[in-house]
A and B are shown apart, each in its own frame.
Chain A
Amino acid sequence: GENVEQHPSTLSVQEGDSAVIKCTYSDSASNYFPWYKQELGKRPQLIIDIRSNVGEKKDQRIAVTLNKTAKHFSLHITETQPEDSAVYFCAATTNAGGTSYGKLTFGQGTILTVHP
């Protein structure tokens, strides 16, 4: 089955700096990679996702890059703000050639702390 490794486990940055979180996956059939943000005591919320037919996607201060050959993808947050502090999870899944994606396999999470 799929295995997703996420690094680093903790990340501390100063406000305004950039933050990068990296994930690797094992199953070459995986073709959908969402990123979720989970604040303390709250539900995971999707912040950005990428499908395997593109190499990069950007949404304001957040971007995700995908390297299918190396089987890794990364989350980039620029101009970090204290409200970006949370746990971030990467995940991977496949539609196995069909029309819908299935179960998500998550990384272990990264605790991001942005210091004012």
Chain B
Amino acid sequence: DTGVSQDPRHKITKRGQNVTFRCDPISEHNRLYWYRQTLGQGPEFLTYFQNEAQLEKSRLLSDRFSAERPKGSFSTLEIQRTEQGDSAMYLCASSLVGGDDTQYFGPGTRLTVL
């Protein structure tokens, strides 16, 4: 499968624990986006990278959230001290600047905080 992949697909954690998600974009895609989707809502932008540079973070993003894309390929999203309100689907998307610019989404990581 040459599409966007995410790992894990599901994560159950207890409140207060830290979690880390990984996203592998489509090969050679230079942009990588993170979105969060709660039940019955559209995806909500969190942050995005162009190569290894983080270009924008949502003002809604708590300081407990951090994302990295150290080598301009895969990205990780870490949530520290999880809260029940963090329960959601975390979606990753990638695109090629200079190409068709379409954002292709991964299958998501569903986080449940107990």
In the complex, chain A residues 72-87 whose Cβ is within 8 Å of any chain B Cβ: none
A89 touches B101 (CB 8 A): no
Q: Which of B91, B95, B102 contacts A43 (CB 8 A)?
A: B91
Is B56 part of the binding interface, using a Cβ–Cβ cutoff of 8 Å? yes
Is A61 part of the binding interface, using a Cβ–Cβ cutoff of 8 Å? no
Question: Roughly how many angstroms separate A102 CA and B45 CA in the complex, as a whole number?
Answer: 10
The number of chain A residues with a CB under 8 A from chain B is 24
In the complex, chain B residues 85-114 whose Cβ is within 8 Å of any chain A Cβ: 91, 95, 97-98, 101-108
Contact with A along B25-53 (1 / 0, CB 8 A): 00000010101000011111100100000
The contact size tier of chain B is 20 to 34
Set of chain B residues within 8 Å of A42, measured between Cβ atoms = 107
- Nearest CB on B from A10, distance (A): 11
Main secondary structure on B side of the interface with A: loop
Q: Which of B101, B107, B108 contacts A100 (CB 8 A)?
A: B101
Q: Which of B42, B98, B104, B108 contacts A99 (CB 8 A)?
A: B98
Extra contacts besides A36-B105, A43-B108, A104-B43 (20): CB < 8 Å: A6-B42, A32-B101, A34-B102, A34-B103, A43-B4, A43-B91, A43-B106, A43-B107, A44-B105, A46-B102, A49-B102, A100-B101, A101-B101, A102-B56, A103-B33, A103-B45, A104-B45, A104-B103, A105-B45, A106-B42
Interface residues of A (CB under 8 A from B): 4, 6, 32, 34, 36, 42-46, 49, 89, 91, 99-109
Interface residues of B (CB under 8 A from A): 4, 31, 33, 35, 40-45, 48, 56, 91, 95, 97-98, 101-108
Across the A-B interface, the 3 shortest Cβ-Cβ residue pairs: A106-B42, A100-B97, A103-B45
20 contacts between A and B (CB under 8 A): A4-B42, A6-B42, A32-B101, A34-B102, A36-B105, A43-B4, A43-B91, A43-B106, A43-B107, A43-B108, A44-B105, A99-B97, A100-B31, A102-B56, A103-B33, A103-B56, A104-B33, A104-B43, A106-B42, A109-B41
